[in-house]
Amino acid sequence: MVTTVVWVLATFITKPEDKAVLNSFYKKTRPGGPGWKKVLDEAKEEGIDIEKSNEKWSVPSGIIAMILGCILVYSCMFATGNWIYGNYPLAIGLTVTVVGSGFLLAKVWNTMKDDLL
């Protein structure tokens, strides 16, 4: 609670960052999402080109890949345990989940790897 109050207070007390710094940061890091629309629009109005038109935001795909990876790993571990202990119906279901999440993860990775690498 104290931390939140301090950073909100610091945000309102300090002066906003210069537009040149924001443009430089955007050019270097290419953050995505709707929060940067104002900075992009202002740069466009001033005739500054900071955006690559063919780049897409990879965060949503990265989050999906992370979730699928977690499902894959945990399903694999629990499937192995259930196979060992002879709980075959659950082991089969978890194995199907492993195959499905692995397939989906490979698909998501193939769509996003060109943007990242």
Q: How confident is residue 115, by pLDDT bands cut at 50, 70 and 90?
A: low
- The mean per-residue pLDDT over the stretch 21-41 comes to 83
Token pair in block for residue 32: 């995505």
pLDDT value, residue 95: 98
Mean pLDDT over 62-84 rounds to 97
Q: Name the more confident of 73 and 55.
A: 73
Tell me: do 45 and 77 sit in the same domain.
no
Answer yes or no: is 28 within a domain: yes
Domain extent, residue 81, equals: 59-116
- Final residue of a structural domain among 52, 67, 94: 52
pLDDT above 80 for 53 = no
pLDDT over 90 at 66, yes or no: yes
Query: How many angstroms separate the CA atoms of 12 and 18, rounded?
Result: 15
Domain count of the fold of the chain: 2
- For residue 109, tell me if it sits in a domain: yes
* Residue 74 and residue 112 in one domain: yes
Residue 3 counted as domain residue? no
Region class of 16: left (phi > 0), else alpha (psi between -120 and 50), else beta: beta
pLDDT of 73 reads 98
